[in-house]
Amino acid sequence: MTVKWLYYWQPSIGVTMSSQTLSIAIKRIEALHGVKTSRWQITASQFRPNQREPVPLVECARELLGVVFSEVPDKYYFALRQEHMVVEADATMQAIMEKLQVYRNRLTILFEGFQYELGDFHIKAGRAVLAHTENLRGIVLEVDYKPLSSVEQSRRVVQDFMEVWQKGETTGQFVPLDPNFSEFNLPDLYSWQHTALQYVTLMAFVFSQQRT
């Protein structure tokens, strides 16, 4: 599996983020003869422990994060950030968690848009919206350089590409999301578990942005 790099839109001071940003990004991709291939959707959720009584406080993770990818519908990924853990499970695990009722879904973010092929680059361009609303929380890009599966080599190529690609943009820029794979005991070989960690980190970032 090749490495995916996430970028989130940081508007310049005084500029408001809007869907227009996404349209501009897509136009830039298409101007370089990027070919639209498919839709994509990633659903990221935040869960909190379901305590019967407010006290005593249950000894458990205060936050559980979950991700499902439209490209991998038979799997569900969990992450516990404080505990530095990423768990991969069959999608039935969602049904099990619903039966157990130990954690309640508090918030869900949908990352959705279109995927483009731009030579050796596969780019997902889309927006982050709060589920069941049109509440736009972010504009995101996912860039995947297909010929390289090494994390470090791929990072350099993608960084160079992004620098060139968004040169001259004044309303803001796409900022890379720094992954923290080693803190989570993830293997060196990139996998969907790594991608899950990136998207839950992005979700947490998107939530934190809204508060400021």
Partner 1 sequence: MSRRLDMSLCISCTFCGIPGYRISLSIVLGVLDLVTQHVDALEVLLQGLCGGLRETIKVHEICLKTGPNLGAVASEVHLCCSLSQPEPVWSVRHVGGAMRGAGADQLPALVRPVLEAGISNNSLRFMYSLGYKLDYEMLRTGFSFQLHKTVPIAVTITISVTAVHRLPKIHAVDDPQPVTPGLQMVQVSAPASPDNYSEVVGAISGLAEYLAPLVHLSKPGVPAGIVPTASTAAAALVSRGGITKVL
Using CB under 8 A, list all residues that contact partner 1: 49-53, 56, 58-61, 64, 78, 80, 83, 85, 87-96, 99-103, 193
* Residue 133 vs 185, nearer CB to partner 1: 185
Shortest gap between Cβ of 6 and partner 1 (angstroms)?
A: 22
Dist CA 132 CA 119 (whole Å): 35
Shortest gap between Cβ of 147 and partner 1 (angstroms)?
A: 29
* Residue 15 vs 60, nearer CB to partner 1: 60
* Residue 52 vs 132, nearer CB to partner 1: 52
Q: Residue 140 corresponds to which tokens in the numbers above? A: 């995101």
* Residue 68 vs 139, nearer CB to partner 1: 68
Shortest gap between Cβ of 77 and partner 1 (angstroms)?
A: 9
Task: Please list the residues that pair with 73 across neighbouring strands.
Answer: none
Dist CA 45 CA 200 (whole Å): 8
* Residue 59 vs 152, nearer CB to partner 1: 59
Dist CA 76 CA 185 (whole Å): 19
Q: Which residues contact 36 (CB under 8 A, 6 or more apart)?
A: 30, 114, 115, 116
Q: Residue 204 corresponds to which tokens in the numbers above? A: 């947490």
Exposure of 196 by Cβ count < 10 A (0-12 exposed, 13-18 middle, 19+ buried)? buried
Task: Please list the residues that pair with 85 across neighbouring strands.
Answer: 80
* Residue 87 vs 177, nearer CB to partner 1: 87
Tokens 């001071």, located at residue: 13
Shortest gap between Cβ of 193 and partner 1 (angstroms)?
A: 8
Residue 15 phi, psi dihedral angles, 5° rounding: -100, 135
Shortest gap between Cβ of 58 and partner 1 (angstroms)?
A: 5
Shortest gap between Cβ of 62 and partner 1 (angstroms)?
A: 10
